[in-house]
Amino acid sequence: MALRRSEELAAIDRDFRQTYHSVLLPQLKRMEFVRIILFFIFLVWSLGTLAYAGLVLWACLNSPDTTFLHYLTVAVIVCSIFVAYRFLEFVLNLILKKKMLNSILLPFKTFKANKIFDIPSTQLRESKIVEKHVFKINPERIDGVYKGVEIKFNTALLFDIERRYSGGKSRTKISNVFSGYIVEMDMNKQFSGHTILESCLYHTDESFFDRFKDDYYEMEEVELEDPDFKKHFTTIKTTDQVEARYLLNPAVMEKLKELDMSLGRLLMLSDLRLSFLDKKILIVMKVRNVNNLLRLCVLNKPLSKQDKEICAFKDTLLEILEIVDELDLDEKIVV
Amino acid sequence: MSLTVIFAGVAAILLVSWLYSVYVSVIKAKNKVEEAMASVDVQLKKRYDLMPNVLFLANKFMEHERSLIEDITKLRTSALKLEGGVSSAQDKINISNEIQKKMGELFVSVENYPQLKSDNTMVQAMKSYSDVEEHIAAARRFYNAAVRDLKNVVQIWPSSSFASTLGIKADMPYFEVENEAERAPINAQNYFN
């Protein structure tokens, strides 16, 4: 079921089309040389690598001492071509975002790329809907005001460091525990309790004893009347049962179900989580894989023909703003 | 110590733990209803505290609704006399429904008084009232969920045996509104378009 777009968002969409032709397209044409250079580097790298891999393979085939390890080395050399492609595409995206993000955000009026602000890790921890992590990377930080609601938008990659001791040696493993979008919306109303919703339970990876330390488990389960809602949000917990039901009235439940379906389809989400705490609503959207995060371009296509990628970027932002409309955050909560 | 004794000991510990967990669930369900009723009381108190402001302004402007205002005042007085807790649940539900109905009528009548309709204090009072009504609706849902859980505990074996032994009954009524139109909380904005 598609969400209906408000007048304001439809206007942003219209403005974006104009901005694309008048501002973005000339900028993309100017940036084309960067893509060509990076693509040339990739071609040189891949041709050199293929030639080297071919030589190694030829030597392997003609040598009686060839082992499986030799063939594995050839495979690794070939794989480095794909790694190089991804890396150079990532670099190109970074350069483009640095140069063009504010131009893309022009139709969004108050929204700007902001390198200074950050959603602090303590706040993420307090929300209890974000994985335990040691450090994070925020490639995009955008903030602005929509219908009086202050919105901070981050793409986030969270990493955890795990130390394991075996045989007197310690091993450190860095793992990417989360990649997706984190949105913070400031409200004018103070919530007295803390309510969280999760579309899937991710706390299961914690140990049995963690349950006794973590005050997440002090929150009570909320039994809502709508069984269909429970299918979308398997975990609904709160410290204030009345406030949870005030927030999750039947109309809001319907809207959250629609939102879960709509965002899941458009942003390739694997998980949608919400936290209502103090004056803030935190929305955490985990994407299925890192490649689904905001991308402006691909390496092997002229930038001027990549309107699809830029439009997808814009659509993602519109989807985020649609949350304000769908949950009537401007009217219902902001008193 | 023979294996039979160890087995019997473990079985006894498991049985006692299970019985204790059933006992705990019964007591928790009972306490939950009391907690939920207390939440309803808190929200109803908020409503009764807000009503004088609305009634004072209504009284100033609305000449033809004097009897309605008097009825609401009487209902509020009797509501305030009721004891807190689960014992007076039925009376609370009846009076609360009656007040909600009458206040709904009052807000509809405000439409006929443009001066009152545009009065800032009235608009603010009605907005606050609408917010409190939404909280009452939420507290009601919490109470109903708690009563439903207690009814399940009292009626389903083995917890039902514990409940009857402890003298716990689930005879408290559900908070139900009388008709479909009253189910939706009053939204002041509907009257100020």
**Whole-complex ipTM:** 0.76
Kindly tell me if the per-residue pLDDT of A106 is higher than 60.
yes
* Residue B193 pLDDT class (50, 70, 90 cuts): very low
Interface of A with B in 107-136 (CB under 8 A): none
User: Would residue B6 count as lying in a domain?
Assistant: no
Contact B145 A225 (CB under 8 A): yes
Task: Using pLDDT thresholds of 50, 70 and 90, give the confidence band for residue A7.
Answer: confident
Task: Look at residue A124 and tell me whether its pLDDT is greater than 90.
Answer: no
B14 found inside a domain: no
Nearest to A143 by CA among A120, A114, A116, A115: A114
Q: What is the CATH number of the domain that holds B55?
A: 1.20.1440.20
Whether residue B177 is contained in a domain is answered as: yes
Which range marks the domain in which residue B73 is found?
31-191
Please state, as a whole number, how many other Cβ atoms lie within 10 Å of the Cβ of residue A205: 10
Is residue B8 included in any domain, yes or no? Answer: no
**pLDDT higher than 50, residue A83:** yes
Does A187 score more than 80 pLDDT? no
Q: Does B128 reside within a domain?
A: yes
Chain B's closest residue to A251, CA to CA, is B184
Distance in angstroms between the alpha carbons of the first and the last residue of chain A = 30
* Res A71: pLDDT: 82
Mean of the pLDDT values across residues B2-19?
Answer: 91
- B79-108: per-residue pLDDT in tens? 787 777 777 777 888 888 888 888 888 888
Q: What pLDDT score does B177 carry?
A: 65
Is the pLDDT at A117 greater than 70? The verdict is no
Determine what percent of chain A is predicted with pLDDT higher than 70: 88
pLDDT in tens, A18-39: 888 888 888 888 888 899 999 9
Flag the least confident range among A191-200, A294-303, B25-34, B81-90: B81-90
Q: Is B104 contained in some domain?
A: yes
Residues 6+ away with beta carbon under 8 Å from A20? A307, A310
Q: Which of A222, A236, A243, A246 to mutate: most B Cβ within 10 Å?
A: A246
Answer whether residue A335 shows pLDDT above 60: no
> pLDDT value at position A48?
92
Does B146 reside within a domain?
yes
Contacts with B135 from chain A: Cβ below 8 Å: 242, 246
pLDDT exceeds cutoff 50 at A159: yes
Average pLDDT of chain A is 81
Does A21 or B57 have the greater pLDDT score?
Answer: A21
Radius of gyration of chain B (CA): 24
Report residue A47's pLDDT band, with 50, 70 and 90 as the boundaries: very high
List of chain B residues whose C-beta atoms are within 8 Å of the C-beta of residue A245: 137-139, 141-142
| SS (HEC) of chain A | CCCCCCHHHHHHHHHHHHHHHHHHHHHHHHHHHHHHHHHHHHHHHHHHHHHHHHHHHHHHHHCCCCCHHHHHHHHHHHHHHHHHHHHHHHHHHHHHHHHHHHHHCHHHCCCEECCCCCCCHHHHHHHCCCCCCCEEECCCEEEEEECCEEEEEEEEEEEEEEEEEECCEEEEEEEEEEEEEEEEEECCCCCCCEEEEECCCCHHHCCCCHHHHCHHHHCEECCCCCHHHHHHCCEEEECCHHHHHHHCCHHHHHHHHHHHHHHHHHCCEEEEEEEEECCEEEEEEEECCHHHCCCCCCCCCCHHHCHHHHHHHHHHHHHHHHHHHHCCHHHHHCC
The answer to whether B183 faces chain A, any CB pair under 8 Å, is no
Residues in Cβ contact with B62 at an 8 Å cutoff, skipping those fewer than 6 apart: B69, B106, B109, B110, B113, B116
Least confident of A34-43, A247-256, A270-279, A284-293: A284-293
Q: How many domains does one find in chain B? A: 1
In angstroms, rounded to a whole number, what is the distance separating the alpha carbons of residues A120 and A105? 24
Name residues 68-107 of chain A within 8 A of B (Cβ).
none
- Is B5 within a domain? no
